[in-house]
């Protein structure tokens, strides 16, 4: 995790590394004005930002582990919104569902106080150039 | 989700009770606070069933430290907000809606240090859902940075009188898109 650097956008939004589970970073963001949508709820865009960064973090961590260097390029992301993002910290962790030579498929979940009840999920395809 | 600052917006609407939803006027309220205010979104244009917003360039929204290109996250926020506003524009009224699903296909990186515009059209509204599609571009609409497609719940149309139903529509409360 030490080598994992979050991009400027993630840092500006307040996203931080929270933990590492089996080599996979768990990211977190505190609730605050920069992520607020309607009063006292997360904006969907902020939730998507957390999911996306967790997806990238999972992939970067794996590539570092495998000694691979690649520039990552987003192909697409599909976000499903499952329940309201309440005014409390959110967490997200990605799972690499497939790692190929040129493409990675990643599933990401975001949750708050109850990990079994995700607030949003995402599927991402990332190109490794 | 898109149910935004209802109170403040209603307050604002009361000044012009019979007025139709106006994306340009509403932007003045929507982009003063919270996530979209932090991003600095701006109204750009609209017509019958579409709305275009601008996400101005800013150094701290870069996706990579060494490339002056907007991250993809803020583009999702831009498109989510433009989606919600295109639905209100199409309906003519501001009613609570929630993002269920939003897909973004990135075509290419935006140009360095360029603003990005998001233009989204609402192409169908049913009793309980609204469907949108759109593009993000950096100046030339014929050469998009991204295509998007999304589905929103129109909560206000629920027969149970604006009460958020259990289950799926609970999602509407989801922290999704809109302001």
Q: Do B73 and A8 touch (CB under 8 A)?
A: no
Question: Which residues does A11 contact at the CB level (< 8 Å), separation at least 6?
Answer: B60
Of chain A residues 88-127, which have a CB less than 8 A from chain B? 90, 119-120
Q: CA angle B28-B129-B22, nearest 5°?
A: 20
Asked if residue B154 has pLDDT above 70, the reply is yes
- Mean pLDDT of the B32-40 span: 94
pLDDT in tens, A8-18: 999 999 999 99
Sign of CA dihedral B9, B13, B15, B21: positive
Nearest Cα residue to B34 out of A41, A80, A85:
A41
Q: Do B81 and A52 make contact, defined as CB atoms within 8 angstroms?
A: no
Q: What percent of chain A lies above the pLDDT cut of 90?
A: 89
Q: Among the ranges A70-74, B44-48, B167-171, which has the highest mean pLDDT value? A: B44-48
pLDDT grade, residue A3 (50/70/90)?
A: low
Measured CA distances, B128 to A31, B100, B175 (Å)? 30, 12, 19
**b (16+ CB within 10 A) / e for B90-124:** bbeebbbbbbbebbbbbeebbbeebbbbbbbbbee
Q: pLDDT (tens digit, 9 = 90+) per residue, A59-78? A: 999 999 999 999 899 999 99
Percent above pLDDT 70 for chain B: 77
Q: Is the pLDDT of residue B7 over 80?
A: no
> Model-level pTM greater than 0.90?
no
Average pLDDT over residues B130-151: 97
Predicted confidence at residue B17, as pLDDT, reads: 52
CA distance B86 to A79: 19
B103–A contact, CB cutoff 8 A? yes
Q: Do A86 and A36 form a contact (C-beta atoms < 8 A)?
A: no
CB contact under 8 Å between A119 and B175, yes or no, is yes
Task: For residue range B56-94, list pLDDT tens digits in order.
Answer: 998 888 887 777 778 888 999 999 999 999 999 999 999
Which residue matches tokens 């030339």?
Answer: B140
Q: Does B29 touch chain A (CB under 8 A)?
A: no
Listed by number, the residues of chain B in 110-169 with a beta carbon closer than 8 Å to a beta carbon of chain A are none
pLDDT mean over A72-91: 95
Residue B164 has pLDDT above 70, yes or no: no
Confidence (pLDDT) at B176 = 37
């Amino acid at each position: 995790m030490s080598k994992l650097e979050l991009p400027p956008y993630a840092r500006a939004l307040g996203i931080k590394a929270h933990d590492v589970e089996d080599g996979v970073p768990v990211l977190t963001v505190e609730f605050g004005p920069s992520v607020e949508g309607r009063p006292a709820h997360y904006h969907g865009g902020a939730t998507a930002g957390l999911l996306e960064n967790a997806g990238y973090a999972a992939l970067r961590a794996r590539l570092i582990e495998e000694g691979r260097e690649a520039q990552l390029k987003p192909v697409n992301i599909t976000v499903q919104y499952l329940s309201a993002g309440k005014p409390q910290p959110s967490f997200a962790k990605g799972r690499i569902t497939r790692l190929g030579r040129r493409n990675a498929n990643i599933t990401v979940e975001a949750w708050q106080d109850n990990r079994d009840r995700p607030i949003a999920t995402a599927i991402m395809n990332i190109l490794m150039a | 989700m898109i149910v935004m600052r209802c109170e403040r917006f209603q307050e604002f609407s009361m000044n012009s009770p019979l007025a139709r939803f106006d994306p340009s006027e509403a932007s003045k309220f929507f982009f003063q606070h919270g996530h979209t205010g932090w991003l600095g979104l701006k109204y750009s244009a609209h017509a019958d069933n579409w709305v275009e917003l601008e996400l101005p360039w800013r150094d701290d929204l870069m996706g990579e430290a060494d490339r002056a290109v907007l991250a993809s996250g803020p583009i999702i926020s831009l498109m989510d907000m433009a989606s919600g506003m295109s639905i209100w524009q199409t309906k003519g009224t501001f009613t609570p809606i929630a993002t269920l699903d939003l897909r973004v296909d990135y075509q290419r990186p935006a140009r360095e240090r360029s603003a990005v515009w998001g233009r989204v059209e609402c192409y169908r509204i049913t009793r309980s859902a609204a469907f949108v599609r759109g593009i993000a571009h950096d100046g030339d609409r014929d050469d998009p940075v991204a295509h998007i497609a999304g589905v929103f719940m129109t909560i206000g149309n629920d027969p149970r009188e604006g009460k958020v139903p259990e289950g799926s529509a609970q999602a509407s409360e989801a922290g999704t898109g809109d302001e």
